[in-house]
Each structure stands twice: as structure tokens, then as C-alpha cells.
Amino acid sequence: MNITFEERQLMSLYNTGTRTGLIAALEEMRGYLAADETELRELTDSAIAKLRRMSDAEYDALDLFPDFEKEDMDAE
């Protein structure tokens, strides 16, 4: 499954330790988004869709730790 850097970062921030828990956390967060936060809404929807399509074993194989070093390099 092709997960983008942005999706992985979002998943890392809301990771509960289980695939279903992460889906629930992202769905809850999505409910708090303002109408003008379309980019974050689309990113969240994409991440949720990919999580729903993957198995628990595929989820367990993901490395869901925020990559702040990459983010810092992008800011330079």
C-alpha cells in the first residue's frame, strides 16, 4: 500500500496502537475540522480509506513514528 509522507505523519500523530483505534481517532478528529480545512479533511479521508483497506498485519508492519527531521529539512 502506498502511503504518502503526509499520511504517515498524520497517522503517527493519532496512532492509538491499533488499526481500528487509529481509524476511530482520525474520524473523531475529522469531526472537529472547520469547513475551510479542506486539505486536512482530504488527507484524513485518504488515510482512513487506506487504513480500512489494509489488514491488521499490514498495519502492524507500518513504522508510525513522526519524522520530525524530514519536516525540519523541508522548512529550510
Span 13-62, pLDDT tens digits: 999 999 999 999 999 999 999 999 999 999 999 999 999 999 999 999 99
| pLDDT value for 1 | 73
* 49 closest CA partner among 16, 7, 17: 7
**Residue 70 neighbours by CB under 8 Å, 6+ apart:** 5
**Residue 22 neighbours by CB under 8 Å, 6+ apart:** 11, 14, 15, 16, 51, 59
Span 50-69, pLDDT tens digits: 999 999 999 999 988 766 66
| pLDDT value for 63 | 84
Question: Residue 71 pLDDT more than 70?
Answer: no
Q: How far, in Å, CA of 51 to CA of 20, rounded?
A: 8
At the topology level of CATH, where does 5-75 sit?
Answer: Arc Repressor Mutant, subunit A (1.10.10)
Extract the runs of DSSP E, i.e. beta strands, from the chain.
none
